[in-house]
Copies of this chain bind each other. A is one copy, B any other.
Amino acid sequence: MNGTAFPRLDPSILADNGDALKFCSTCAFSQACLAQGMDKAALMDLHMLVEHVGPLHAGEHVFREGDAFEAIAAVRAGTVKTYTIDRDGHEHVLGFHLPGEVIGLNAIDGDRYPCNAVALDTAMLCRFSFPKISVLAARLPGLQQHLFRLMSRDIGTATLLAGDWTADQRMAAFVLGLSRRLAARGFSPDRFQLTMARTDIANYLRLAPETVSRVLKRFQDEGLLKIDRREVELSGRERLQELAAPILRS
């Protein structure tokens, strides 16, 4: 619970610079920058300012609401949940962040993080000082473009979730969304583990945990998926897609 806010670089990685680079080059953030037209030299610059964070264990925080904002971070492994607690004590889950995804972008406007970020399982991250990456982005058009796109995408997904969809639509979109994002990282799209509790899913989809339970049960009864504890297997992808279509816009 009382994880240190943004732990510093693991010394064992610092020790061997060559290793650190090789390590980081697997980071999807770098990959995306490359695809965005950055050359090798530029990528090297990016690697110069990255700090490897972790491994964090389930329940340890990456940052907390109110912490001074200094850096964004890319998830390299594991799952990170971002959330806030409103004044009635209710948790609002802003998102679940898989490997390759970036957290902290909503903190840029303001000098403090507006939410908490916690590891749901063992997680590794790359930390990018925001002032530094801004300066670098001015030199590297590909990086600037990549950041713009990431933020733009976040606006889009946030507004999609904001729509007034039924519990079934939300649930279908959630499962399908996970499936697609996992597939994009090379994991199986049809069979995966939920790294978050039912309560977390409920707080993310703005449903009661009981509703999450019931909808999943019904989906199983109707053959859309098989679920055992946290293990999910998609068996009725078409029907799920029909349900989720208006949300995922596909």
Is B149 in contact with A138, judged by CB distance below 8 angstroms? Answer: no
Number of copies: 2
The yes or no answer to A108 lying at the interface (CB within 8 A) is yes
Which of the candidate stretches A20-28, A87-95, A225-233 sits at the interface with the other chain? A87-95
21 A-B pairs, CB-CB below 8 angstroms? A86-B246, A92-B163, A105-B151, A106-B155, A106-B156, A108-B149, A108-B151, A109-B149, A109-B150, A109-B153, A110-B152, A114-B156, A134-B148, A137-B138, A137-B144, A138-B138, A148-B151, A151-B151, A158-B162, A159-B162, A161-B162
Is there contact, CB below 8 Å, between B152 and A109? yes
Determine whether the beta carbon of A246 is less than 8 Å from that of B87.
Answer: yes
Give the residues in chain B near A148, CB-CB below 8 Å: 108-109, 134, 147, 151
Closest Cβ neighbor of A138 among chain B residues: B138
Quick check: is A37 within 8 A (CB to CB) of the other chain? no
Determine whether A16 belongs to the interface, using a CB cutoff of 8 Å to chain B.
Answer: no
Contacts A114-B156, A206-B163; A134 near B145 (Cβ below 8 A): yes
Sorting the interface of chain A by its residue count into under 10, 10 to 19, 20 to 34 or 35 or more gives: 35 or more
Interface string of A49-92 (1 = CB under 8 A from B): 00000000000000000000000000000000000001110001
Is residue A245 contacting chain B, with contact meaning CB distance below 8 A?
yes
Q: Mark A160-193, 1 if CB is under 8 A from B, else 0.
A: 0111100000000000000000000000000000
CB pair B108–A162 under 8 Å, yes or no, is no
Seen from chain A, the residues whose Cβ lies within 8 Å of a Cβ on chain B are: 86-88, 92, 94, 105-110, 114, 134-135, 137-139, 141, 144-145, 147-156, 158-159, 161-164, 206, 245-246, 249
Complex Cα distance, B138 from A229, in Å, reads: 49
Residue of A86, A156, A161 contacting most chain B CB atoms (<10 Å): A156
Report the nearest B residue to A157, measured CB to CB.
Answer: B158
Q: Which residue of B lies closest to A115 (CB)?
A: B159
Q: B92, A245: Cβ atoms under 8 Å?
A: no
A164 cross-chain contacts in B, Cβ below 8 A = 206
Which residues of chain B have C-beta atoms less than 8 A from A151's C-beta? 105, 108, 148, 151-152, 155
For A206, the chain B residues whose CB sits under 8 A away are 162-164
Instruction: Please tell me if the beta carbons of B152 and A105 are within 8 angstroms of each other in the complex.
Output: yes
